[in-house]
Every structure is written in structure tokens, then in C-alpha cells.
A and B are shown apart, each in its own frame.
Chain A
Amino acid sequence: MRTKKHRDVHHLSPGLNVLFNIIAGGFALLCVFPFIFVIIISLTSEASLNKNGYAFWPEEWSFAAYEYIFKAGDQLLRSYGVTIMITIVGTLISLIVIALYAYAISRKNFTYRNFFSFIAFFTMLFNGGLVPTYMVVTQVLHLKDTVWALILPLIMNAFYVLILRTFYNTTVPDAIIESAKIDGAGELRAFFTIVLPISLPGIATIGLFATLGFWNDWFNALLYIDNPALVPLQSMLMRIENSMQFLLSNAQLSSSGQSLELLRTLPQEATRMALVVLATVPIACAYPFFQRYFVQGLTIGAVKE
């Protein structure tokens, strides 16, 4: 019933619809293609990779890469656990903090809105740099080797705050809030009962970004985590990737006798691709969850009813 109505609303001519489908579908294909390639390489035997390089239809298929990873076993599962945990907890905290902050600075009757907008914006450009940040996190906040070192540094993000502020400004007319307040609701209640439902697509967007941010983060783990039980998935992946690059591109090391011994211990190409697959598939599956909130129809009228 509902979808039918939307079709009416947009009323796209069939020709244009086909064209749009071709553009969007074509581009999507272009985007998916390397990923499929990654999957294929992860399933290629190391011998054929060495011999032929990347191929769409490898000479020899192999599950060796996945076997290798799962044999190493518990580290992978633990890393999955850490990643999922910090992603969920982090996103929730992050959404609350950001949504509140953005709402306050979106309200015209907040005297200090420009001040707090500026405070947020300024951090997008200027930062203290690596070492001072490290100092604060480890010696002022004492977060080293705790799971909070993976969560807190990513909680707030001025970019998201400013996007969300714009969402509030454009989708929520002041008039509704005012009328709600006349009905006796405070700012907080107006926020939860009116603003949040209307700006759900915006919140979902920020939620998605925050989720991806937590899921993909590896740098905080690099800096603050030594305990293998707290190493998230991407960090594990990046560690391997970085070490590979380091050993291969370090002139002095690679020309010496030692490098061989070292390269031997590194995972092969197929294994690295398999790790990419394992790190990406779960989060790509989470994507449709956020898409649910990109529904048209959450209009002001709907809220008023």
C-alpha cells in the first residue's frame, strides 16, 4: 500500500527508470567487481598465484588460506569478539553523545550555539598530533591496554556533529518544536518524541558512519593495545599488511640474509585476501540494517498523527 503511494509520488518515466538503473547498477558492479576478485584470490592456491598472478578463473582452487587462518584459531575469534563489542558499545555511546550535542547547537534559542559549533569545528582542523594525544590517553586518562582506548577516542567526531546539526535544521522545522513546547513539553522531551523520529534517516547515517569507524579502526589499537586479547580484527589485518610492506620495502633488511627467514613467517597473498574477506563480509551484511531507516514517509505529518 505504502510503496504504491511512493511510486505515485515519484512518478519516474519508464525510460528514465531504466537509465537510472543502468547508471546505478553499472557503478555498483564496478564497485563490487574488485571485491569478488578478492574472494577469488583468497580461494586460489598459492602455487597458481605465483605462477600466473591474479586470474579470474584460477588454475587451481584452494581453501588453504582459510584453513590456515582457522587453524591459528582463537586469535581470530577473539578479535572478532573485540571488534563486535567495541563497534556496538562504541556506536551506541557515540550516537547518544553526538545526537545530543548536535541537537543543542541546532537550536536557535541556545545562546552559546555558535561557540559550541566552533569548538567542534575547530577540532576538525587542528589537533595536537600523535605524541601529545598519546600522552593524554595513556598518562592522563590511563586507558592504555584497556578496551576503552579503542572506544573513547572515536566517540566524538566533529564532522558527524555538523552533519547531524544540518539534518536537524533542515528536517525539523522550529515551529513543531515550539508547538510541542507550548503543549508543555521540555526541550528534552521535544527532542525524544519529535526530533528523533523525524531525523531518523540522519541518525541512521551517523550511526552507519560511526559503526564503520569503529569497525575499521586499527590505529588506536596499534598505539594503545599490547594485549593480544584486545586486538581487533582490522588491527590484526593491518599488522600483517604493514609488516609485509615493511619487510619488503626495507632495503637494508631485504638484501640481507635475514629477510628470507622473516618473509617465510608471513602469511601468503591468498591468506591476506582471505583476511580481507573475513573482515569485510560481516560489516557489509550489517549495512542493510541501517538502510531500513532510510525509508521515505517518516514525514512531519506522520509524527503529528
Chain B
Amino acid sequence: MFSSTQKNMELASGKGEDKPETVIKTEKSQSRPEAKGRAVFQPTRENGQVVAVTNTVLQYTYPLKLLLPQNVSETKTCQWLYVITFGGGLVAGDNIQLDIELAEECTVVVTTQASTKVFHRVDDLVTCQTVEAKVGAGSLLVFLPDPVVCYKDAAYRQKQVFHLKQGSSLVLLDWYTSGRIARGECWEFQSYHSTNSIHLDDRLVFRDVVHLQDTPLLPVHQAMAQYNVVGMCVLIGPALSNLYNKLLKELGRSKPYGYKYNMEVVLSVSPLRFKKEEEEIHGAVVRVMAFTTTQVFTEMERILQELFPRLGGNPFENKY
């Protein structure tokens, strides 16, 4: 005889089934003004050759800060932009907007000084970050932020849009953790919402939207089990074709018979094709889920290391 439905739904955390989904208000209801940042990069040519990447615009308002240290990269043909927030974290109501523009033939690394920390939600304010980037033909944007770490009761929303042209290349790493793991805070935030869109010549070719929040049927922390880190790394464009083709073979091929799976770090890879008629591959997306941040840093560093000469260094150095 089947028992009653409520008793059987042991998956539910005890909240009523009819509890309406928490409505997350949009940026427009923020009480703090937007913090805007803008960075523009142009190539510097000598005798028709690009000899350096020059930053021509660098603007930011509190609590956003942009740093362009000149001694990090060993090559003048790649600039490293650090995106920082004063106070070491974002609070409810913060609304960061960052515009990045690469003209043609520039290589730029965008990274952070440390993980993006998001504090708990206050009233119905959400913490928001928006990035809009344009990458010119022949340019490579390497977007490698540290992970987003949402503290207990945080509500975070990010939107990242990348506009590429034929001949542009992009490495996009987007990842997040379960919280202050060392404090035993595991998937205790209210809401994590991330949208990544990539347009090629104004056509949407890639979109990934994740919205992590408890549902009446299953709380996030139960669903995530022992996994503390989730992320994806998109590679698109001609500058990366050796790399992504290699990754597709390496991560995509069948495991040998009797292979011992390590469930602590799971990597997957998918080819990206943008035209139905062509079989041509334009990129790849690597996804990862892992028990620790160190595991993901190690994998990402290994995966991207062949780019380091072009970047003039290893962006992951000293990050973990």
C-alpha cells in the first residue's frame, strides 16, 4: 500500500510544497548606484607589426577598482587587467558593471586578485555583476576570474555577454564554490544566478544559464552531495584551435577498459559548432565539478598552460 505523498517526499526539506519561488528583484531595485568600470585596449604597431597592447581607457567607480600592473606579463603584447572590489567582497545591493573592449590584434587577460566574495542578502536586495566585452578580430580575451564564493544567505546575479567577430578568440572561465568551506558553510546561499552569452557577428552562438536555489522538492546542498566547486571554461576562436582540438581528443575520448573513475574531479568536454551546414568545430566547452578548489585550479592551469607564452605568464601562479 503506498504511503501518503507528504511522508514519501523525504527529499523535501520540510518546506511546504506550495511555497512560491522566491522572487529575485532585478538590478533596478538596488539602493546603491551602479559602480561602472570601463577598459579599452588598442594595438600599437611598428612597421605594420603589433609590438604592444596599449590601454587607452581605464575608468572605475567605487567599490569597483581596475588595476593594470605593468610588470606581471613578460610580454608587451599582452596586458593583464585585475578587477578588484574595495572591502574584499560584495554586499547586498552592490551592482557592478564592467565594459571591456579589445580592438583588433590585442591579447588581454582579465582576472581578479582573489575570489569574489558575496555577503548575505539584506531585505530583498541582490548583489549583481554585469560584464560586457567586445573582442575585435585577431584578438584574444582570456577571462580568468577566481571563483565566486557566496556566503550563507547570499543572493547573487551575474550576467556576462561577449561580442566576438570572425577571427576573435575567447577563453571564458566561470566558476563558483559552495561557500566558506573551511567554516563548514556548504551551499547555504539563497540564490546563485549566472548567465553567460557569446555572440559571433551579432548572432547568439552560446548561452549558459544556471540558477541554483533550493526547490520545494530538493535543497541545493543535498543535490550537490560532496561537490564544492562547479565551473566551465569556454574556448572559442582561431587562436585556440590547436588547444581545443587537443582537449576534445584528450577529455572526450573513451576511457580504457577497467578505468578507475575518480569521482572527486569530473571533467567533461563538448565541441562547439556554430553552423548547421558545416562540420567545422569553432571551439569547445569544458565543464568541471570537484570536491575542492585546488583540484579545479590544478586542472585549469594544466588545460590552459600552452597559452602562457602568449600571455607572458601563468595567471594561476600564486592563486592556490
Q: Do A and B come from one complex?
A: no
Binding site for A on B (CB under 8 A): none
Binding site for B on A (CB under 8 A): none
